[in-house]
Amino acid sequence: MAEVFAALADPTRRRILDALAAHGEATATVLAAELPVSRQAIVKHLGVLDRAGLVAGHREGREARYRVIPERLGVAARWMDRVAAAWDTRLAAIKRLAEGK
């Protein structure tokens, strides 16, 4: 999970994920044309996203095409839901104590 959250912490990587989700799949060149960073920077960000399991790439001719792997995002979302539920329970207990119920 740490790699996923570290990858998602960067706003450029989140924008890359959004662009890939909109396209279905895309090359670094296509992504660089849409985002305010160089193609080389996109490639580095894609490497981080790939190591985190958030994107997958495959060669098509001379270019690599990338797509989002939604399952890893689902795992992260379920983990956050569990943490949120635990905090909701704790906060409800604090509220009951504070209100004397």
Average pLDDT of the segment spanning 81-94: 93
Q: Output the DSSP codes for 10-59.
A: SHHHHHHHHHHHHHSSEEHHHHHHHSSS-HHHHHHHHHHHHHTTSEEEEE
Q: What is the pLDDT of residue 73?
A: 85
From residue 55, how far is each of 63, 82, 86 by CA, in Å? 15, 24, 30
**How many angstroms separate the CA atoms of 68 and 54, rounded?**
6
Q: What is the pLDDT of residue 57?
A: 94
Average pLDDT of the segment spanning 84-88: 93
Domains of the chain: 2-99 (1.10.10.10)
Q: What is the pLDDT of residue 33?
A: 95
Average pLDDT of the segment spanning 58-82: 90
> What pTM value is reported for the model?
0.80
Res. 77 pLDDT band, cuts 50 70 90 = confident
Question: What's the farthest any 2 CA atoms get from each other in the chain?
Answer: 69
